[in-house]
């Protein structure tokens, strides 16, 4: 069974969506699927074609940076996509995370007929909402990585309610054994892209009052992004630079060890569909302090596996972190409960099984429909 995996971002880019896709495709390939990936060319240095673990990747310049005429550019891209679709001849097209490049799937969908599945991750820009709406309206099935993101899709296109579902992101526990939570010198970890939506500025604001109560506490901010310079300036203005460590980007394989050194993980997000970091923290038996946004409340159960506070609530974040430092037994209990929950509710095997079953369902439905059409055509008398 051939799957054209049309992803708005893919390896070697690194983020939650990319890491999950890079794990999912090889796992499904062992179950009999053949994949080809279509993804935007995010950097000019990347080749148009290469392979990831034997899976072909085709990168397209879905932004018109070279062709003078927009019409010529659309025609050129359309011809390339049609050629790839006909050459690969997929049984299913899986759009993974909506983006502007979906336009070129939509304008070639009549040229090559195959069922298509859409998985919603993260947020989409307001300016591409017409493309997102049209994509959802024409999808055979829509999956969401969280109940929150699927509800957003249903609000945009209510008719997808009958053919949509939630497939939570999955997580495979690392071989690393969780270490005891450090409380003598608490280490509070923020991990992710340094961007406004992650709310790390709120973490810095909250940490100012935390360090007044717990002078040995340290805030570790791991990741890179456009907000790094402003965050470093903020730490200096708050006069907490001596207690804040900006350690930069951490490779996915290094994340478990980083979390293993932390007392807790702090996620003050302004928006987040279903962040992998929360699952990784749970996997290392760390309690999470997070905001009630997006899919975070689906991962973090308040007072059971962590603590939730309202969006933009610096004081609430500080109080929650302080509570866990003041109550080590409760913090340990929440972390252990989080690990048990991630093993069952968000297991990697369950995630792979769900996509395997959905792929087979959609391909089977299409095959039955084609067979029905063929038999109906055979019954039509030849009147010529």
pLDDT class of 114 with cuts at 50, 70, 90:
confident
**pLDDT computed for residue 369 by the predictor:** 55
Q: Would you give the end-to-end CA distance of the chain in angstroms?
A: 38
Contacts of 215 (CB under 8 A, 6+ apart): none
**Domain 2-170+347-379 is classified in which CATH homologous superfamily?**
Glycogen Phosphorylase B; (3.40.50.2000)
Domain ranges of the chain: 2-170+347-379, 187-344
Eight-state DSSP code of residue 185: T
Eight-state DSSP code of residue 30: T
Angle separating helix axes 147-156 and 129-138, nearest 10 degrees: 90
Signed CA dihedral, 306, 291, 145, 154: sign only: positive
Compute the C-alpha angle 279/151/275, nearest 5°: 20
**pLDDT computed for residue 91 by the predictor:** 95
**pLDDT computed for residue 16 by the predictor:** 87
Check whether 371 has a pLDDT greater than 60: no
Cα-based torsion angle of the residue sequence 66, 227, 285, 180 in order, rounded to the nearest 10 degrees? 130
**What is the average per-residue pLDDT within 326-337?**
98
**pLDDT computed for residue 65 by the predictor:** 58
**What is the average per-residue pLDDT within 47-66?**
87
pLDDT class of 216 with cuts at 50, 70, 90:
very high
pLDDT per position as a tens digit, 123-155? 888 888 999 999 999 999 999 999 999 999 999
pLDDT per position as a tens digit, 228-241? 999 999 999 999 99
**What is the average per-residue pLDDT within 296-316?**
97
**Domain 187-344 is classified in which CATH homologous superfamily?**
Glycogen Phosphorylase B; (3.40.50.2000)
- Taking alpha carbons only, the member of 356, 207, 223 closest to residue 277 is 223
pLDDT class of 109 with cuts at 50, 70, 90:
confident
Instruction: Calculate what percentage of the chain has a pLDDT beyond 70.
Output: 93
Check whether 383 has a pLDDT greater than 60: no
Specify the 3-state DSSP secondary structure of 347: strand
Q: Is 272 left (phi over 0), alpha (psi -120 to 50) or beta?
A: beta
**pLDDT computed for residue 111 by the predictor:** 62
pLDDT class of 277 with cuts at 50, 70, 90:
very high
**pLDDT computed for residue 368 by the predictor:** 59
**What is the average per-residue pLDDT within 47-68?**
84
Secondary structure of 270-318 as H, E, C letters: CCCCCCHHHHHHHHCCCCEEEECCCCHHHHCCECCCEEEECCCCHHHHH
Eight-state DSSP code of residue 196: G
Specify the 3-state DSSP secondary structure of 222: strand
In whole angstroms, give the CA distance from residue 334 to residue 330: 6
Check whether 272 has a pLDDT greater than 80: yes
- The number of beta carbons lying within 10 Å of the beta carbon of residue 271 is 16
- The secondary structure of 38-83 as a DSSP string is EEE--STTS-SEEEETTEEEEEE--S-SS-S-HHHHHHHHHHHHHH
Signed CA dihedral, 74, 75, 76, 78: sign only: positive
**What is the average per-residue pLDDT within 247-259?**
95
User: Which range scores top for mean pLDDT: 41-55, 56-70, 194-208?
Assistant: 194-208
């Amino acid at each position: 069974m051939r799957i054209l995996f049309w992803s708005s971002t893919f390896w070697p880019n690194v983020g939650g969506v990319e890491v999950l896709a890079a794990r999912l495709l090889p796992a499904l390939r062992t179950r009999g699927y053949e994949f080809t990936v279509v993804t935007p060319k995010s950097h000019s240095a990347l080749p148009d074609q290469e392979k990831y673990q034997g899976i072909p990747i085709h990168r397209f310049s879905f932004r018109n940076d070279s062709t003078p005429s927009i019409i010529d550019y659309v025609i050129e891209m359309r011809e390339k996509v049609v050629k790839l679709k006909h050459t690969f001849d997929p049984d299913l097209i899986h759009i993974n995370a909506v983006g502007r490049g979906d336009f070129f799937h939509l304008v070639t969908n009549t040229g090559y007929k195959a069922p298509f599945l859409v998985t919603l991750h993260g947020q989409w820009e307001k300016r591409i909402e017409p493309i997102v709406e049209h994509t959802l309206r024409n999808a055979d099935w829509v999956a969401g990585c969280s109940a929150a993101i699927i509800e957003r899709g249903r609000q945009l296109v209510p008719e997808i309610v009958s053919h949509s579902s939630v497939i939570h992101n999955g997580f495979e526990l690392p071989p690393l054994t969780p270490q005891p939570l450090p409380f003598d010198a608490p280490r509070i970890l923020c991990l992710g892209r340094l961007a406004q939506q992650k709310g790390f500025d709120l973490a810095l604001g909250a940490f100012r009052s935390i360090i007044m109560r717990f002078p040995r506490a340290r805030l570790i901010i791991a990741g890179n992004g456009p907000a790094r310079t402003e965050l470093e300036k903020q730490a200096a203005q708050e006069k907490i630079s001596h207690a804040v460590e900006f350690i930069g980007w951490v490779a996915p394989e290094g994340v478990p060890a980083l979390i293993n050194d932390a007392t807790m993980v702090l996620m003050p997000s302004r928006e987040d569909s279903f962040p992998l970091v929360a699952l990784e923290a749970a996997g290392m038996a760390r309690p999470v302090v997070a905001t009630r946004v997006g899919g975070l409340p689906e991962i973090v159960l308040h007072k059971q596996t962590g603590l939730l506070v309202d969006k933009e609530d610096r004081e609430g974040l500080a109080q929650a972190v302080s509570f866990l430092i003041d109550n080590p037994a409760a913090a340990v209990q929440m972390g252990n409960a989080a690990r048990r929950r991630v093993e069952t509710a968000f297991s990697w095997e369950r995630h792979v099984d769900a996509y395997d079953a959905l792929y087979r369902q959609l391909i089977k439905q299409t095959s039955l429909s084609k067979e029905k059409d063929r038999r109906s055509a055979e019954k039509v008398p030849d009147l010529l």
